[in-house]
Chains A and B, each alone.
Chain A
Amino acid sequence: MLYLRQVFTIAAKDLRSELRTKEALNSSFAFSMVILVLFSFAFDPSSEQLHEISGGLLWLVYSFASALSLNRGFARELENDCLDALVASPVPVSALFLGKAVANYALLMAVEMVGFLVFGLLYDVQAAHYFWPVLLVIALGTWAMVVVGTMFSAVTVNLRMREMMLPIIIYPLLLPALMAAMTTTTDLLNGAPFGPNLIFLRVLAAVDLIYTLLSMIFIEFVLVG
Protein backbone atom coordinates (compact mmCIF):
# COMPACT_ATOMS: atom_id res chain seq x y z
CA MET A 1 0.00 0.00 0.00
CA LEU A 2 2.84 2.36 0.93
CA TYR A 3 4.52 1.44 -2.36
CA LEU A 4 1.42 2.42 -4.34
CA ARG A 5 1.17 5.69 -2.43
CA GLN A 6 4.80 6.42 -3.33
CA VAL A 7 4.10 5.66 -6.99
CA PHE A 8 1.08 7.95 -6.87
CA THR A 9 3.07 10.75 -5.17
CA ILE A 10 5.77 10.67 -7.87
CA ALA A 11 3.14 10.51 -10.65
CA ALA A 12 1.18 13.40 -9.12
CA LYS A 13 4.37 15.46 -8.78
CA ASP A 14 5.27 14.90 -12.43
CA LEU A 15 1.74 15.61 -13.65
CA ARG A 16 1.50 18.78 -11.55
CA SER A 17 4.85 19.97 -12.84
CA GLU A 18 3.86 19.20 -16.44
CA LEU A 19 0.45 20.84 -16.15
CA ARG A 20 2.12 24.00 -14.85
CA THR A 21 4.70 24.27 -17.62
CA LYS A 22 2.91 22.22 -20.34
CA GLU A 23 6.28 21.78 -22.06
CA ALA A 24 5.92 18.16 -23.18
CA LEU A 25 2.16 18.34 -23.58
CA ASN A 26 2.18 21.32 -25.95
CA SER A 27 5.14 20.17 -27.99
CA SER A 28 3.80 16.61 -28.40
CA PHE A 29 0.37 17.85 -29.40
CA ALA A 30 1.72 20.47 -31.83
CA PHE A 31 4.07 17.89 -33.35
CA SER A 32 1.20 15.41 -33.78
CA MET A 33 -0.85 18.03 -35.59
CA VAL A 34 2.04 18.89 -37.93
CA ILE A 35 2.52 15.22 -38.83
CA LEU A 36 -1.23 14.80 -39.41
CA VAL A 37 -1.16 17.73 -41.83
CA LEU A 38 1.96 16.40 -43.56
CA PHE A 39 0.19 13.10 -44.24
CA SER A 40 -2.34 14.94 -46.39
CA PHE A 41 0.49 15.83 -48.80
CA ALA A 42 1.95 12.32 -48.81
CA PHE A 43 -1.37 10.56 -49.60
CA ASP A 44 -4.63 11.50 -51.20
CA PRO A 45 -6.70 12.17 -48.03
CA SER A 46 -9.93 11.11 -49.71
CA SER A 47 -8.68 7.85 -51.21
CA GLU A 48 -9.62 4.35 -50.06
CA GLN A 49 -5.91 3.59 -49.75
CA LEU A 50 -5.72 5.93 -46.77
CA HIS A 51 -8.24 3.81 -44.85
CA GLU A 52 -6.14 0.72 -45.53
CA ILE A 53 -3.12 2.30 -43.84
CA SER A 54 -4.96 4.41 -41.27
CA GLY A 55 -3.75 2.37 -38.26
CA GLY A 56 -0.15 2.70 -39.39
CA LEU A 57 -0.46 6.45 -39.84
CA LEU A 58 -2.06 6.87 -36.44
CA TRP A 59 0.72 4.95 -34.71
CA LEU A 60 3.39 6.88 -36.59
CA VAL A 61 1.91 10.06 -35.13
CA TYR A 62 1.82 8.47 -31.67
CA SER A 63 5.34 7.15 -31.78
CA PHE A 64 6.86 10.46 -32.97
CA ALA A 65 4.87 12.40 -30.39
CA SER A 66 5.89 9.99 -27.63
CA ALA A 67 9.62 10.38 -28.31
CA LEU A 68 9.27 14.11 -27.66
CA SER A 69 7.52 13.81 -24.33
CA LEU A 70 9.36 10.72 -23.06
CA ASN A 71 12.71 12.41 -23.60
CA ARG A 72 11.72 14.83 -20.83
CA GLY A 73 10.85 12.05 -18.37
CA PHE A 74 14.09 12.05 -16.40
CA ALA A 75 15.78 14.99 -18.14
CA ARG A 76 13.52 17.44 -16.32
CA GLU A 77 15.01 16.22 -13.04
CA LEU A 78 18.57 17.19 -14.01
CA GLU A 79 18.08 20.83 -13.03
CA ASN A 80 19.28 21.59 -9.50
CA ASP A 81 20.32 17.90 -9.15
CA CYS A 82 16.71 16.88 -8.49
CA LEU A 83 17.41 13.41 -9.87
CA ASP A 84 20.07 12.76 -7.22
CA ALA A 85 17.66 13.99 -4.53
CA LEU A 86 14.90 11.71 -5.84
CA VAL A 87 17.20 8.69 -5.94
CA ALA A 88 18.42 9.48 -2.42
CA SER A 89 14.86 9.82 -1.10
CA PRO A 90 13.28 6.88 0.80
CA VAL A 91 11.14 6.06 -2.26
CA PRO A 92 12.24 2.75 -3.90
CA VAL A 93 13.76 3.34 -7.33
CA SER A 94 11.20 1.05 -8.95
CA ALA A 95 8.40 3.17 -7.44
CA LEU A 96 10.12 6.26 -8.81
CA PHE A 97 10.20 4.62 -12.24
CA LEU A 98 6.57 3.48 -12.06
CA GLY A 99 5.42 6.90 -10.90
CA LYS A 100 7.13 8.57 -13.82
CA ALA A 101 5.75 5.95 -16.21
CA VAL A 102 2.20 6.47 -14.92
CA ALA A 103 2.51 10.26 -15.34
CA ASN A 104 3.92 9.86 -18.86
CA TYR A 105 1.13 7.41 -19.66
CA ALA A 106 -1.59 9.82 -18.56
CA LEU A 107 -0.09 12.65 -20.58
CA LEU A 108 0.52 10.57 -23.68
CA MET A 109 -2.94 9.01 -23.58
CA ALA A 110 -4.45 12.52 -23.39
CA VAL A 111 -2.44 13.65 -26.44
CA GLU A 112 -3.30 10.43 -28.28
CA MET A 113 -7.02 10.68 -27.61
CA VAL A 114 -7.13 14.22 -28.98
CA GLY A 115 -4.94 13.10 -31.90
CA PHE A 116 -7.31 10.20 -32.58
CA LEU A 117 -10.29 12.52 -32.64
CA VAL A 118 -8.57 15.00 -34.99
CA PHE A 119 -7.34 12.15 -37.21
CA GLY A 120 -10.89 10.78 -37.48
CA LEU A 121 -12.29 14.22 -38.34
CA LEU A 122 -9.64 15.22 -40.88
CA TYR A 123 -9.38 11.90 -42.69
CA ASP A 124 -12.96 10.72 -42.28
CA VAL A 125 -12.04 7.58 -40.37
CA GLN A 126 -15.12 6.12 -38.67
CA ALA A 127 -14.26 4.39 -35.44
CA ALA A 128 -17.56 4.55 -33.55
CA HIS A 129 -18.29 0.82 -33.97
CA TYR A 130 -14.83 -0.26 -32.95
CA PHE A 131 -14.05 2.44 -30.42
CA TRP A 132 -13.54 0.18 -27.39
CA PRO A 133 -11.37 -2.45 -29.12
CA VAL A 134 -9.28 0.34 -30.69
CA LEU A 135 -9.03 2.02 -27.29
CA LEU A 136 -7.79 -1.25 -25.78
CA VAL A 137 -5.09 -1.52 -28.48
CA ILE A 138 -4.09 2.13 -27.96
CA ALA A 139 -3.96 1.62 -24.18
CA LEU A 140 -1.73 -1.49 -24.48
CA GLY A 141 0.50 -0.04 -27.22
CA THR A 142 0.95 3.23 -25.36
CA TRP A 143 1.98 1.44 -22.16
CA ALA A 144 4.70 -0.38 -24.13
CA MET A 145 5.94 2.93 -25.55
CA VAL A 146 5.83 4.61 -22.14
CA VAL A 147 7.54 1.85 -20.18
CA VAL A 148 10.40 1.45 -22.69
CA GLY A 149 10.63 5.21 -23.26
CA THR A 150 10.75 6.03 -19.54
CA MET A 151 13.29 3.28 -18.85
CA PHE A 152 15.60 4.39 -21.65
CA SER A 153 15.17 8.08 -20.88
CA ALA A 154 16.76 7.08 -17.56
CA VAL A 155 19.50 5.21 -19.46
CA THR A 156 20.28 8.17 -21.73
CA VAL A 157 19.65 10.97 -19.21
CA ASN A 158 23.35 11.71 -18.68
CA LEU A 159 24.51 11.16 -22.24
CA ARG A 160 25.77 14.02 -24.37
CA MET A 161 23.62 13.03 -27.37
CA ARG A 162 20.53 12.27 -25.28
CA GLU A 163 17.93 13.58 -27.74
CA MET A 164 19.52 11.62 -30.58
CA MET A 165 20.18 8.39 -28.73
CA LEU A 166 16.72 7.86 -27.23
CA PRO A 167 14.83 7.37 -30.53
CA ILE A 168 17.65 5.21 -31.93
CA ILE A 169 17.42 2.93 -28.92
CA ILE A 170 13.70 2.81 -28.21
CA TYR A 171 12.24 2.46 -31.71
CA PRO A 172 13.87 -0.91 -32.52
CA LEU A 173 12.87 -2.20 -29.06
CA LEU A 174 9.33 -0.97 -29.63
CA LEU A 175 8.97 -2.36 -33.13
CA PRO A 176 7.31 -5.67 -32.09
CA ALA A 177 4.72 -3.72 -30.07
CA LEU A 178 4.25 -1.05 -32.73
CA MET A 179 3.91 -3.70 -35.44
CA ALA A 180 1.19 -5.47 -33.45
CA ALA A 181 -0.59 -2.21 -32.61
CA MET A 182 -0.47 -0.90 -36.19
CA THR A 183 -1.78 -4.10 -37.75
CA THR A 184 -4.60 -4.50 -35.24
CA THR A 185 -5.66 -0.84 -35.38
CA THR A 186 -5.71 -0.87 -39.20
CA ASP A 187 -7.81 -4.04 -39.28
CA LEU A 188 -10.25 -2.72 -36.68
CA LEU A 189 -10.63 0.66 -38.41
CA ASN A 190 -11.37 -1.20 -41.66
CA GLY A 191 -14.11 -3.20 -40.00
CA ALA A 192 -12.25 -6.53 -39.78
CA PRO A 193 -13.27 -8.85 -36.92
CA PHE A 194 -11.18 -8.90 -33.75
CA GLY A 195 -10.58 -12.68 -33.76
CA PRO A 196 -7.66 -13.03 -36.20
CA ASN A 197 -5.84 -10.21 -34.43
CA LEU A 198 -5.92 -11.89 -31.03
CA ILE A 199 -2.34 -13.09 -31.52
CA PHE A 200 -1.22 -9.47 -31.98
CA LEU A 201 -3.12 -8.49 -28.84
CA ARG A 202 -1.36 -11.29 -26.94
CA VAL A 203 2.01 -10.09 -28.27
CA LEU A 204 1.16 -6.55 -27.10
CA ALA A 205 0.12 -7.74 -23.63
CA ALA A 206 3.22 -9.97 -23.33
CA VAL A 207 5.55 -7.16 -24.44
CA ASP A 208 3.90 -4.82 -21.91
CA LEU A 209 4.30 -7.31 -19.08
CA ILE A 210 7.87 -8.35 -19.89
CA TYR A 211 9.16 -4.80 -20.48
CA THR A 212 7.49 -3.59 -17.28
CA LEU A 213 9.04 -6.39 -15.21
CA LEU A 214 12.49 -5.91 -16.79
CA SER A 215 12.33 -2.16 -16.23
CA MET A 216 11.35 -2.54 -12.58
CA ILE A 217 14.18 -5.02 -12.02
CA PHE A 218 16.90 -3.07 -13.84
CA ILE A 219 16.03 0.57 -13.12
CA GLU A 220 18.05 0.31 -9.88
CA PHE A 221 21.21 -0.55 -11.87
CA VAL A 222 20.60 2.37 -14.21
CA LEU A 223 19.90 5.07 -11.64
CA VAL A 224 21.79 3.90 -8.57
CA GLY A 225 24.45 1.43 -9.75
Chain B
Amino acid sequence: MRNKAIVLLALISATLLIYVLARVFFVLPDELNQGAIYRIIYFHVPGAITGFTGFVTAMIAAGFYLATGDLKYDRFSAAVTEVSLAFASINLVTGMVWARIIWGVWWAWDMRLTTMLICWLIYAGYLMLRRAVEEPTKRAKLSAVFSFFGCIDIGIVWKSIEWWNTQHPQPVLSIRDGGGMAPGMEAPIYINLVALLCLSACMIMVRMRQEAMSNEIDSLRRTAHTI
Protein backbone atom coordinates (compact mmCIF):
# COMPACT_ATOMS: atom_id res chain seq x y z
CA MET B 1 0.00 0.00 0.00
CA ARG B 2 2.76 2.42 1.00
CA ASN B 3 4.81 1.48 -2.10
CA LYS B 4 1.79 2.21 -4.30
CA ALA B 5 1.35 5.62 -2.64
CA ILE B 6 5.04 6.42 -3.19
CA VAL B 7 4.82 5.50 -6.87
CA LEU B 8 1.57 7.43 -7.30
CA LEU B 9 2.98 10.58 -5.68
CA ALA B 10 6.17 10.31 -7.76
CA LEU B 11 4.10 9.94 -10.94
CA ILE B 12 1.90 12.95 -10.15
CA SER B 13 4.97 15.00 -9.30
CA ALA B 14 6.85 13.97 -12.47
CA THR B 15 3.83 14.68 -14.70
CA LEU B 16 3.30 18.13 -13.21
CA LEU B 17 7.00 18.96 -13.31
CA ILE B 18 7.25 17.99 -16.99
CA TYR B 19 4.13 20.04 -17.77
CA VAL B 20 5.48 23.11 -15.93
CA LEU B 21 8.95 22.82 -17.47
CA ALA B 22 7.46 22.54 -20.97
CA ARG B 23 5.20 25.52 -20.35
CA VAL B 24 7.89 27.65 -18.74
CA PHE B 25 10.53 27.01 -21.38
CA PHE B 26 8.44 26.69 -24.56
CA VAL B 27 5.23 28.69 -24.02
CA LEU B 28 5.90 31.61 -21.68
CA PRO B 29 7.81 34.60 -23.06
CA ASP B 30 10.84 36.22 -21.42
CA GLU B 31 10.07 38.84 -18.79
CA LEU B 32 10.42 42.44 -19.96
CA ASN B 33 13.08 43.60 -17.51
CA GLN B 34 14.76 40.40 -16.34
CA GLY B 35 14.83 38.35 -19.51
CA ALA B 36 15.03 34.55 -19.29
CA ILE B 37 16.34 34.35 -15.70
CA TYR B 38 12.92 35.22 -14.21
CA ARG B 39 11.96 31.57 -14.84
CA ILE B 40 13.89 30.61 -11.73
CA ILE B 41 10.90 31.89 -9.72
CA TYR B 42 9.00 28.73 -10.72
CA PHE B 43 11.34 26.74 -8.46
CA HIS B 44 12.46 29.45 -6.04
CA VAL B 45 9.04 30.32 -4.58
CA PRO B 46 7.52 26.78 -4.55
CA GLY B 47 10.79 25.54 -2.99
CA ALA B 48 10.42 28.04 -0.13
CA ILE B 49 6.72 27.32 0.44
CA THR B 50 7.34 23.54 0.38
CA GLY B 51 10.19 23.95 2.87
CA PHE B 52 8.15 26.13 5.22
CA THR B 53 5.12 23.83 4.99
CA GLY B 54 7.42 20.98 5.97
CA PHE B 55 8.95 22.80 8.92
CA VAL B 56 5.52 23.70 10.28
CA THR B 57 4.30 20.12 9.70
CA ALA B 58 7.38 18.86 11.56
CA MET B 59 6.52 21.14 14.48
CA ILE B 60 2.93 19.84 14.58
CA ALA B 61 4.22 16.23 14.47
CA ALA B 62 6.65 17.13 17.27
CA GLY B 63 3.66 18.38 19.29
CA PHE B 64 1.87 15.06 18.70
CA TYR B 65 4.99 13.21 19.86
CA LEU B 66 5.19 15.25 23.06
CA ALA B 67 1.48 14.67 23.70
CA THR B 68 1.42 10.92 22.99
CA GLY B 69 5.02 9.71 23.36
CA ASP B 70 4.61 7.66 20.18
CA LEU B 71 7.97 7.49 18.37
CA LYS B 72 6.31 7.26 14.94
CA TYR B 73 5.56 11.00 15.16
CA ASP B 74 9.22 11.67 15.92
CA ARG B 75 10.33 9.63 12.90
CA PHE B 76 7.84 11.55 10.76
CA SER B 77 8.96 14.90 12.16
CA ALA B 78 12.64 14.10 11.49
CA ALA B 79 11.94 12.88 7.95
CA VAL B 80 9.87 15.98 7.15
CA THR B 81 12.57 18.29 8.51
CA GLU B 82 15.32 16.57 6.48
CA VAL B 83 13.32 16.80 3.26
CA SER B 84 12.22 20.38 3.97
CA LEU B 85 15.82 21.42 4.54
CA ALA B 86 16.58 20.15 1.04
CA PHE B 87 13.77 22.33 -0.36
CA ALA B 88 14.98 25.31 1.67
CA SER B 89 18.41 24.72 0.10
CA ILE B 90 16.80 24.78 -3.37
CA ASN B 91 15.27 28.13 -2.45
CA LEU B 92 18.61 29.56 -1.30
CA VAL B 93 20.62 28.25 -4.25
CA THR B 94 18.11 29.37 -6.91
CA GLY B 95 17.92 32.76 -5.20
CA MET B 96 21.71 33.08 -5.36
CA VAL B 97 21.79 32.21 -9.05
CA TRP B 98 19.07 34.81 -9.73
CA ALA B 99 20.92 37.42 -7.64
CA ARG B 100 24.17 36.83 -9.57
CA ILE B 101 22.43 37.66 -12.85
CA ILE B 102 20.18 40.50 -11.68
CA TRP B 103 22.19 42.12 -8.88
CA GLY B 104 25.67 41.10 -10.07
CA VAL B 105 26.52 39.42 -6.74
CA TRP B 106 25.82 35.95 -5.39
CA TRP B 107 24.65 37.20 -2.02
CA ALA B 108 23.33 40.43 -0.48
CA TRP B 109 22.96 40.82 3.29
CA ASP B 110 19.36 41.82 2.92
CA MET B 111 16.88 40.91 5.69
CA ARG B 112 14.94 38.35 3.63
CA LEU B 113 18.11 36.55 2.55
CA THR B 114 19.69 36.75 5.99
CA THR B 115 16.64 35.46 7.86
CA MET B 116 16.27 32.61 5.36
CA LEU B 117 19.91 31.65 5.84
CA ILE B 118 19.32 31.74 9.60
CA CYS B 119 16.33 29.41 9.10
CA TRP B 120 18.54 27.00 7.14
CA LEU B 121 21.20 27.08 9.88
CA ILE B 122 18.59 26.44 12.59
CA TYR B 123 17.32 23.28 10.90
CA ALA B 124 20.87 22.13 10.09
CA GLY B 125 21.41 22.48 13.87
CA TYR B 126 18.28 20.34 14.42
CA LEU B 127 19.80 17.51 12.37
CA MET B 128 23.11 17.83 14.23
CA LEU B 129 21.29 17.67 17.56
CA ARG B 130 19.59 14.44 16.45
CA ARG B 131 22.94 12.91 15.57
CA ALA B 132 24.40 13.90 18.94
CA VAL B 133 21.77 12.05 21.00
CA GLU B 134 21.87 8.27 20.84
CA GLU B 135 19.00 7.27 23.09
CA PRO B 136 15.84 7.31 20.88
CA THR B 137 13.34 8.64 23.45
CA LYS B 138 15.69 11.37 24.64
CA ARG B 139 16.50 12.27 21.03
CA ALA B 140 12.82 12.46 20.13
CA LYS B 141 12.02 14.69 23.10
CA LEU B 142 14.89 17.12 22.61
CA SER B 143 14.39 17.46 18.88
CA ALA B 144 10.64 17.99 19.36
CA VAL B 145 11.37 20.91 21.68
CA PHE B 146 13.94 22.28 19.22
CA SER B 147 11.38 22.06 16.43
CA PHE B 148 9.09 24.51 18.26
CA PHE B 149 11.93 26.98 18.79
CA GLY B 150 13.02 26.70 15.16
CA CYS B 151 9.60 27.58 13.80
CA ILE B 152 9.78 31.12 15.22
CA ASP B 153 12.20 32.15 12.49
CA ILE B 154 9.78 31.09 9.75
CA GLY B 155 7.41 33.89 10.76
CA ILE B 156 10.29 36.37 10.64
CA VAL B 157 11.38 35.18 7.17
CA TRP B 158 7.80 35.39 5.91
CA LYS B 159 7.21 38.92 7.21
CA SER B 160 10.74 40.28 6.60
CA ILE B 161 9.90 41.88 3.25
CA GLU B 162 7.07 43.79 4.93
CA TRP B 163 8.95 44.79 8.09
CA TRP B 164 12.14 46.04 6.41
CA ASN B 165 13.07 47.75 3.17
CA THR B 166 14.69 44.87 1.40
CA GLN B 167 16.62 44.47 -1.80
CA HIS B 168 14.69 41.22 -2.27
CA PRO B 169 11.65 41.83 -4.52
CA GLN B 170 8.33 42.56 -2.81
CA PRO B 171 5.56 39.91 -3.04
CA VAL B 172 4.57 39.13 -6.64
CA LEU B 173 1.90 36.49 -6.03
CA SER B 174 -1.69 37.74 -6.17
CA ILE B 175 -2.57 35.61 -3.08
CA ARG B 176 -0.19 37.82 -1.11
CA ASP B 177 -1.49 41.11 -2.57
CA GLY B 178 1.38 41.18 -5.02
CA GLY B 179 -0.39 40.93 -8.36
CA GLY B 180 2.86 41.61 -10.18
CA MET B 181 2.51 38.75 -12.66
CA ALA B 182 0.14 38.03 -15.51
CA PRO B 183 -2.28 35.15 -14.66
CA GLY B 184 -0.75 32.96 -17.35
CA MET B 185 2.66 33.47 -15.79
CA GLU B 186 1.51 33.02 -12.19
CA ALA B 187 -0.41 29.74 -12.60
CA PRO B 188 2.68 27.53 -13.21
CA ILE B 189 4.04 28.61 -9.81
CA TYR B 190 1.03 27.01 -8.08
CA ILE B 191 1.18 23.93 -10.31
CA ASN B 192 4.87 23.52 -9.50
CA LEU B 193 4.07 24.00 -5.81
CA VAL B 194 1.71 20.99 -6.00
CA ALA B 195 4.42 19.06 -7.86
CA LEU B 196 7.05 19.84 -5.23
CA LEU B 197 4.64 19.07 -2.37
CA CYS B 198 3.93 15.65 -3.94
CA LEU B 199 7.66 15.12 -4.44
CA SER B 200 8.39 16.03 -0.82
CA ALA B 201 5.60 13.70 0.42
CA CYS B 202 7.12 10.94 -1.70
CA MET B 203 10.63 11.61 -0.33
CA ILE B 204 9.31 11.71 3.25
CA MET B 205 7.68 8.30 2.80
CA VAL B 206 10.88 6.85 1.33
CA ARG B 207 12.90 8.35 4.21
CA MET B 208 10.50 6.89 6.78
CA ARG B 209 10.76 3.48 5.13
CA GLN B 210 14.57 3.74 5.32
CA GLU B 211 14.29 4.63 9.00
CA ALA B 212 11.98 1.65 9.67
CA MET B 213 14.42 -0.67 7.87
CA SER B 214 17.34 0.77 9.81
CA ASN B 215 15.47 0.15 13.09
CA GLU B 216 14.76 -3.43 11.99
CA ILE B 217 18.44 -4.01 11.13
CA ASP B 218 19.42 -2.61 14.55
CA SER B 219 17.03 -4.93 16.35
CA LEU B 220 18.27 -7.94 14.28
CA ARG B 221 21.83 -6.96 15.14
CA ARG B 222 20.95 -6.79 18.83
CA THR B 223 19.27 -10.21 18.62
CA ALA B 224 22.35 -11.64 16.86
CA HIS B 225 24.58 -10.22 19.64
CA THR B 226 22.50 -11.87 22.35
CA ILE B 227 22.69 -15.23 20.53
Give the interface of A toward B (CB within 8 A). 148, 151, 155-156, 158-161, 165, 168-169, 171-173, 175-176, 179, 199, 203, 207, 210-211, 214, 218, 221-222, 225
Contacts and interface: CB of A to CB of B under 8 A. Distances in A.
B152 A221 contact: no
Contacts of A203: 156, 163
A74 to B, nearest CB: 13
B207 interface: no
B148 A214 contact: yes
A165 B164 contact: no
B142 A155 contact: yes
Nearest to B129: A169
B142 A173 contact: no
B136 interface: no
Binding site of B, secondary structure by majority: helix, strand, loop or mixed?
Answer: helix
Given A155-B142, A155-B146, A225-B137, 16 more contacts: A158-B138, A160-B132, A165-B132, A168-B128, A171-B121, A172-B122, A172-B124, A173-B149, A173-B150, A175-B121, A176-B152, A199-B163, A211-B149, A218-B66, A222-B142, A222-B145
B153 interface: yes
B118 A221 contact: no
Contact of A211 (B125, B129, B146, B152): B152
B145 A176 contact: no
A218 B148 contact: yes
A141 to B, nearest CB: 16
Contacts of B66: 218, 221
Contact of A221 (B114, B124, B125, B145): B145
A173 to B, nearest CB: 6
A159 B130 CA distance: 11
Contacts of A172: 118, 121-122, 124-125
Contacts of A165: 128-129, 132
Residue among B133, B137, B144 facing the most chain A CB atoms (10 A cut-off): B133
A33 to B, nearest CB: 29
B115 interface: yes
A209 B28 CA distance: 47
Contacts of A156: 132
Contacts of A173: 122, 125, 149-150, 152-153
A199 B138 CA distance: 38
B141 interface: yes
Nearest to B134: A160
A55 to B, nearest CB: 15
A159 B122 contact: no
Contacts of B141: 221-222, 225
Contact of A159 (B114, B133, B149, B156): B133
Q: Sort A-B residue pairs by CB-CB distance and give the 6 closest, nearest first.
A: A172-B121, A172-B122, A175-B118, A218-B145, A172-B125, A155-B142
26 contacts: A161-B132, A165-B128, A165-B129, A165-B132, A169-B125, A172-B118, A172-B121, A172-B122, A172-B124, A172-B125, A173-B122, A173-B149, A175-B153, A179-B114, A179-B118, A199-B163, A199-B164, A207-B152, A210-B152, A211-B152, A214-B148, A214-B149, A221-B141, A221-B145, A222-B141, A222-B145
A207 B118 CA distance: 14
Contacts of A175: 118, 121, 153
Contacts of B144: 221
Contact of B146 (A158, A169, A225): A169
A98 to B, nearest CB: 17
Contacts of A176: 115, 118, 152-153, 156
A169 B145 CA distance: 12
B47 to A, nearest CB: 20
A222 B146 CA distance: 10
A162 to B, nearest CB: 9
A60 to B, nearest CB: 16
Contacts of A214: 148-149, 152
A222 to B, nearest CB: 6
Nearest to A225: B141
Contacts of B122: 172-173
